[in-house]
Each structure stands twice: as C-alpha cells, then as structure tokens.
Structure 1
Amino acid sequence: METRIAEIASGIYRLSTFVPQIAPPAGFTFNQFLVLGDEPLLFHAGLRRMFPLVREAVARLVPPERLRWIGFGHYEADESGAVNEWLAMAPHAEAAHGHTGCLVSLNDMADRTPRMLADGEVIDLGAGRRLRWIDTPHIPHGWDAGVLFEEASGTLLCGDLFTQIGDGPALTEADVVGPAIAAEDLFGFSSLNPGMGATIRRLAALSPRTLALMHGPSFAGDGAAALRALADDYDRRFQAAMN
C-alpha cells in the first residue's frame, strides 16, 4: 500500500490510502486531511497499522513533530486509532473533539488531555485559517459525531458522510450523492434517525465549496446541493423504515 498526496483546496491536503481487499472488486480508500497553518491540524488520525504510511506522507508536507491538532469525526479505529502515536510524535499536539467524544472516550484513551470543543467553537490555526467544530450526533453514526468546517476555503471535513467505494480521483466535480447512496445500500453504516435530514441541511447552510470525504474522492462544486440531496435520501430511508 501507499499513501498518495493531493491538494484539494488551498493549503488542505488529502492523504489517501487505497485498500483493494475491502469491498472488492472496487476497493476502499482511507483519507486523512492535513490543514496547514501556524498550528497544522490533521483530520483523522487513521488506523494504527497505517500510521507509518500516513506519517511518511505528512513528513513530505510538514515535519510531523510540528502538528498541533489531531481531529476526527468520531471515536472509531479508522478515525482515531493512531491518535496516541501522533501525540507521541508531536510533543505539542492535542487531540480536539466534541464534548461527548471527550467525556466518553478521549479523556481516558488519549495519552494527553484533549481539547473539548463546544458546538460552533473555532480552532484558529493562524495564517487566516479557522476551523469550526459542528456537532452532528449519530450522523452518519456515533453519538459523538461531528465535522470541521474550514472557513477560508469553504471546505467541509465531513468524515463518513458521502462514503463511497472505489479508488476515484483525489478531487472530482462529478456526482458524489449517487455513489454515497449505493454505499449506504451496501454497508448500511448510518444510524437512521428522524433528525438526520435536519442535521445535514444545517451543514448545507454553510454553502461549502469543497467536501473532504474520508472514504472517496473530495468534491469541488455546490456542496450545499449535494448535502441537501443526501439529506433527502436519508429522510426517505427513515420514512421507509418506519412503514
């Protein structure tokens, strides 16, 4: 395996590792996102077994020991598995996550006390780079779930939202909603609940210009329209499940 690097928005780099053994024959990507600034942030710590690959990719962009923040959408192996490896490598780094994730997992599991983020709280990386934490409980799964929105570039670091299979381009303007619907049909990974549509439409109100997917290509275009279409599909699924 190798971890490939691509700049998907100004100063935001996608670090992508393709694993053909998952969901064959299409395979599956695991993506981290490095956001540069005076205090660089890595979104998704990644799996522990992938740590050497991702560390090498980060080192091609910035000395790993300079990392200041380690974020992720929810506490799960592919999102947070290597958090302590990163904390050991970067002596000034802190994990940053929402209240629920810190209280139920990170306060105990992280080797250093994490920064607990309130809904809407901003991490200022310097150099004009600000990331806003937004709580999205149970969406797509995990009661501690949330996303980060990079305000300067309009990039939504959306975690498992829009998950799709395959090894597409690093950045696409093609449809990401249809492939996400197909992946939901295949995996059934989302926690269907009556608030899904409303929560996702709240993200659409940000009008993101780039959607940074953890599993699949990043999307450049009308992120609000894509989020509204995804919300409509989850509303449909919930209503079908209730009937």
Structure 2
Amino acid sequence: MDSPYQAAADVHVLPANLALPGVGVLPINAYVITAEEPVLVDTGLGVDADDFVDALSAIVDPGRLRWIWLTHDDADHTGNIERVMELAPRARLVTHGYAALRMSTWWPLPMDRVHAIRFGDDLDVGDRTLTAVAPPLFDNPMSTGLLDRSTGDLFSVDAFGAIIPEPTQSASDVPPEALAGGMLGWATSDSPWVHLTEPAAFGQVLDRVRQIQPRRIFSSHLPAADGTALEDFLAVLQQVPSAEHFVPPNSDEFAQMVTALTEMQRAGVPVPRTEAAPQPASPAEAAPRG
C-alpha cells in the first residue's frame, strides 16, 4: 500500500498500485469521505490489511465510521471488509443487495447491517446526501458509484481507470497521451462487453455522465482527477466500442510476467502481492481485471 493523501478538503485516498513490469502501474483506491457521518468507500487489498487499517485509523477512528460504501464485491474492493466491519460496529454496509448476498457465500456477512441501494437512491450522511449512480463502464453488474451532492464529487468505480507510467496523486501529472492509452487499455480489458454495444447507444450512456458535470472524479483505478478533465475522459471512452479487443496472456507470457515481478522484488522494488498481469506490447493491450 502507498501513502494516503488528501485529494480534497473532505476526501482522503487510500491508494495501492499494482505493478505491471514494462507497462506501468494500475492504481487501486479506497476513499474516506469525512462527512458528519464518515463514509469509507471500498476496503482495499487484503494483502495490505495492517497497513490499510493503520492508514484508515490515521484519518478517522474506525469506531466513528457510520457507512461503508462497497461499490462492488470484487476482491480489490472487498479486501478488508470483514476486518473493517469488526472495527466499525456502528457502520452499515451500503451496497447492491445482490452483492451482499454473494459475499455471504464466503463470509458470515451480518445482513442486519446491510443497507441495500440501487441507482437513484439517496443516502443521508448527516451533512450531505450521497446519490447512487451507474458507472458508464463496469466489470461487475453490481457496480454502484456515488455522487456527493454537496461537493459534486463523482466516485466512478472502475470507470475512468487507467494504467499509468508511475504512481502519482493527480491524474493531471500523467502525460495526456499516456493517460489516454492507459485508459483505453484498461477499459477494453475490464469491460469487454462494451464491444457489443452500438457507439451511438453507448454515447447516450456517456451523455448521462456528462450531465452530472462532476467537480472532481474519484475512480477506483485512477489518481484523483479534476472535473475539467471529464470531456477528455469521455472522448477516450467513446472510442472503446470500436477499439482493438484485449487479448489475455497465454501461459508463456504469464510466466514472463511472473519472472519480471520476482526480479523486481529481489531488487527491492515494492510490488503489491496480488495477481500478476501479462506483459503486453502496448498500454492498449494491458490491464488485469479488477
């Protein structure tokens, strides 16, 4: 896990970065919204358990958490859900109802603490209202983003994620061409279903995001971004339906990636202990699912 940073007066980022040798890194973010009733958005990687809890505790006492908004039940979002819920006995789990049911198959999720939510629903967290929104791209049908009505901050789940050259705390630090290529590569691998859509129909989906006019964009897989970048981001996503399809690694390519990761570890380069990814020829071919 990397060092937490404050992306806005009331938003803290709990970041990790998955190293992709020869390509770059994939950010993996959880967030804390310091509302009157504090909200944790996702729970990081399980392999970062101690560091994650320490980072969270430095921002807010887990005992004060009132809400844990789980955007979906993939492993890179649920890594510390059990531990956090134990440390936050007052917190309720806000998530898609079916995500809660699916999670109950692998841990004894206390269903009486689940606040099921669907697109358009509002959540009152004391000093503001959070609205559940549909992300334009997703790898999990349970994916539920949120819009902070008081600030205009959009938490977009996997949408607008990107493989970037190196870790950073602001998407504006990434060279535009690298960011566009990394975002296209991530989108084609994480949401391959979009190739089946008609570009015009998908454009209507993007228009709904455009109408939100977010002040800031907080993706699960991108450094914090200013809302002024939205049009550039949407222009990249508009290309996805007709973009080249992602091809996953074969056995030999995967073995090469594992070897590269091992060499990085021996050299003392921090490498998140999670699934390895292929070593593609270009960012547009890169990206593990998450």
TM-score normalised by structure 1 residue count: 0.83
Aligned length, in residue pairs: 232
The one of 95, 102, 107 equivalent to 1:105 is: 102
Give the deviation of 1:24 after TM superposition: 4.6
The letter of the residue matching 2:190 is: F
The 3 A distance-change label for structure 1 pair 38 and 110 is farther
1:130 aligns with: 129
Give the deviation of 1:99 after TM superposition: 3.8
- Asked which structure has the greater CA Rg, the reply is 2
* Bigger proportion of residues as strand: 1
Give the deviation of 1:223 after TM superposition: 4.8
2:153 aligns with: 155
The one of 208, 211, 218 equivalent to 1:212 is: 218
Larger RCO: 1 or 2 (CA < 8 Å, sep 6+) = 2
Task: Provide the secondary structure at the position in 1 that maps to 2:4.
Answer: strand
Partner Cα separation in structure 2 for residue 35 and residue 122 of structure 1: 16
Give the deviation of 1:158 after TM superposition: 1.1
1:115 aligns with: 115
Deviation digits for residues 36-63 of structure 1, max 9, x if unmatched? Answer: 1121111111222222111111111111
Partner Cα separation in structure 2 for residue 70 and residue 226 of structure 1: 31
1:183 aligns with: 186
Aligned-residue Cα RMSD (Å) equals 2.6
The letter of the residue matching 2:224 is: S
2:60 aligns with: 62
TM-score normalised by structure 2 residue count: 0.71
The 3 A distance-change label for structure 1 pair 24 and 34 is farther
Partner Cα separation in structure 2 for residue 238 and residue 120 of structure 1: 33
The answer as to whether partners of 1:44 and 1:70 remain within 8 angstroms in 2 is yes
1:5 aligns with: 4
Deviation digits for residues 23-80 of structure 1, max 9, x if unmatched? Answer: 5552332211100112111111122222211111111111112111112322100012
Give the deviation of 1:136 after TM superposition: 4.2
2:169 aligns with: 170
Percent identical among aligned pairs is 19
Deviation digits for residues 76-109 of structure 1, max 9, x if unmatched? Answer: 000123211111110011211124433x424555
The one of 218, 232, 242 equivalent to 1:236 is: 242
Give the deviation of 1:220 after TM superposition: 0.8
The answer as to whether partners of 2:40 and 2:69 remain within 8 angstroms in 1 is yes
What are the equivalent positions in structure 2 for 1:66-85 lying under 5 Å apart?
66-85=64-83
The answer as to whether partners of 2:12 and 2:31 remain within 8 angstroms in 1 is yes
